Amino acid sequence: MTTPGPTPSAWLMFARQVIEHTARRADAAVAPSAPAEPRAYSGVFVTLHKHGRLRGCMGVLDDRLPLAEAVRQAAISAAAGDPRFSPVAPGELSDVQVEVSILSPPQRMRSLDELELGRHGVLVRRGLRRGLFLPQVAVEHHMTKETFLGLCCHEKAGLPAEAWRDPATEVLLFTAEVLREP
């Protein structure tokens, strides 16, 4: 008899607990235990919103880590390590909504037709440069496929916007299980 895996809300509760420990400057490594769920994944991102605006977003792209450790690291980084924002303060925790995105293993994009906005995220790589957009970014910002790829190259990877068209640039597609607090 197999036991069912954790519910999606278990990953959200775990990420929130890590964020709360981090904001209160408690040791996030001793936060309540994580759900156990062995599965294939290529990365995890934790995104924080406050009053509908981005408050932090950081990820871990190391599929050699257990999923729970990747969620833990991404949650700590989103709460205290996103260079665009100050660390989350204890007084704002009740206003912060948590989102966890668990990325599927990526597949190389061979044609623009393969990219489905809202379903696929993109990872572009060229040399030491890389950039990533989660699937929800294209929909939230009403992007076309070309804009999605171009902004990922330029804003995230520091490449020319048209670099995705160059065969020397690797463009990978992935899906994500996106879990959101209400």
Q: What is the pLDDT of residue 30?
A: 62
Distance CA 179, CA 94 (A): 18
Q: Given pLDDT bands bounded at 50, 70 and 90, which one contains residue 121? A: very high
Structure confidence at residue 31 as a pLDDT band (50, 70, 90): low
pTM of the entire structure?
Answer: 0.88
pLDDT of residue 27 exceeding 90, the answer is no
Residue 174 CA to residue 182 CA, distance in Å, equals: 25
CATH 3.40.50.300 fits 8-103, yes or no: no
Q: Which CATH number fits domain 107-175: 3.30.1490.150, 3.40.50.1220, 3.30.460.10, 3.90.1170.50?
A: 3.30.1490.150
Q: If you count them, how many residues does the chain have?
A: 182
